[in-house]
Amino acid sequence: MKLFKEILFPLIAVIAAFIVGGIVILIIGDSPIQTYKLLLGSAFSWPDGIGYTLFNATPLIFTGLAVAVAFRCGLLNIGAEGQLYVAAFAAAWVGMKFGAPDPGNTFVSQIAHLPGIILVPLCCLAAIAAGAIWGGIPGLLKAKFGSHEVINTIMLNFIAVALLSYFTQYHYKVPGDPIMQTAPTSPSANLAHLGKFIPGLPARIPLNLAFILAIVACILVYIFLWKTKWGYEMRATGANPSAAEYGGISIRKQIILAMAISGGLAGMVGINEVLGYRHRYYDGFSANYGFVGIAVALLGRNHPVGVFLAAILFAILLRGGIFVDAFTMHVSKDIVDMLQGIVIVFVAAEAMFRGPLKQFGLLKRAKV
């Protein structure tokens, strides 16, 4: 029964969003059924559909987990976007500076030539640490000055984008390159594509070890939140801060810790993006991963299993969007952004479904 209730509202929110989206599609003059068939059905072909869907899901799992951890502590981290940018740049910087240079990089000088077995973990740590610091700043500001983390994380998103654009443009871009991207990272910093290990999955599909890392992160977040004392204290702070404080938990410490962990998780997007896919920092690479992470966390009820499933759902939509663009008359792939937005509003306002559900007897009336 509890599980049923947990699944019920997200499911209704998604269905409601699809109905609203369907009406928009109808008004535009396309067939909603055909559009949704393309949107949802394109993800299940082997190997391309599944490979790309899981690749698209990887960053969303990380940002979804990031938002979920902060949520459990009663904080809203809208800054995952900035945190993942800073982390991606940190990973790329370590990848450029500490490994044997890529032939395409005759510009950035090296500090050391580390082998891949040391360099890859070092890049990952750099990404996580950078994300954790960028997430920890609003945590610190909230703990020390009481300033609202929502505003501060939004501001830090913009600061991150401007700062990284400066570093890319003035210091790490190969001169003459018209694209805003850094020089390539060392080939020893590359993360293996899963095509290497799975027969039938071609190596051109960028699905890489970061996806495995995302699954590990889901498990670790579950263990941390529900099986450790620290996680318990964090959830207690989120559930009732004054009771937690009365129980001897330092709320300030929890806030800083939760935001840093959240930032670190968001930062892991950089591992997928830089080490596993582009092998350089690319200005403006994120397709709103940080903001979609909010939708993922909400739809997944801030639980790692839910986050995983919600991330897969949104990744299916992202994959399907390409086909909608190509094979419908009027609807473009922007329908995916639209649906995501509507899902968020419906999940947030889930109370609107409560009345009708009670009427149909699907939900017991709450005993007050």
In the stretch 161-190, what mask flags binding to another protein with x, by CB under 8 A?
-xx-xx--xx--------------------
Q: State which residue, 16 or 191, has the beta carbon closest to another protein.
A: 16
Which of these ranges, 99-107, 203-211, 226-234, 341-349, lies near another protein under the rule CB under 8 A? 341-349
Residue 243 CB burial class (10 angstroms; 0-12, 13-18, ≥19): exposed
Near another protein by CB under 8 A: residue from 7, 41, 106, 158 = 158
Near another protein by CB under 8 A: residue from 123, 127, 156, 313 = 156
Other Cβ atoms within 10 Å of 329 Cβ, number: 10
Near another protein by CB under 8 A: residue from 154, 192, 220, 249 = 154
- Position 360: which residue type? F
Q: State which residue, 159 or 192, has the beta carbon closest to another protein.
A: 159
For residues 265 and 65, the answer to whether their CB atoms sit within 8 Å is: yes
Near another protein by CB under 8 A: residue from 150, 192, 249, 357 = 150
Assess 145 for contact with another protein (CB under 8 A).
Answer: yes
Packed helices 116-145 and 251-267: angle between N→C axes, nearest 10 degrees: 140
Assess 148 for contact with another protein (CB under 8 A).
Answer: yes
State how far the Cα of 136 lies from the Cα of 334, in Å rounded to an integer.
33
In the complex, minimum distance from the CB of residue 289 to another protein, in angstroms, rounded to a whole number: 12
State how far the Cα of 1 lies from the Cα of 10, in Å rounded to an integer.
15
* Coil/strand/helix, residue 140: helix
User: Nearest to residue 191, comparing CAs of 287, 282, 273, 86?
Assistant: 273
Q: What single string gives the DSSP state of each residue in 214-229?
A: HHHHHHHHHHHHHHSH
Binding-site size for another protein (CB under 8 A) equals 52
Assess 348 for contact with another protein (CB under 8 A).
Answer: yes
Packed helices 80-97 and 116-145: angle between N→C axes, nearest 10 degrees: 150
Near another protein by CB under 8 A: residue from 88, 298, 307, 317 = 298
In the complex, minimum distance from the CB of residue 67 to another protein, in angstroms, rounded to a whole number: 10
Please give the residue ranges that form the binding site for another protein (CB under 8 A): 24, 28-29, 76, 78, 141, 144-148, 150-152, 154-156, 158-159, 162-163, 165-166, 169-170, 288, 291-292, 294-295, 298, 330-332, 334-345, 347-352
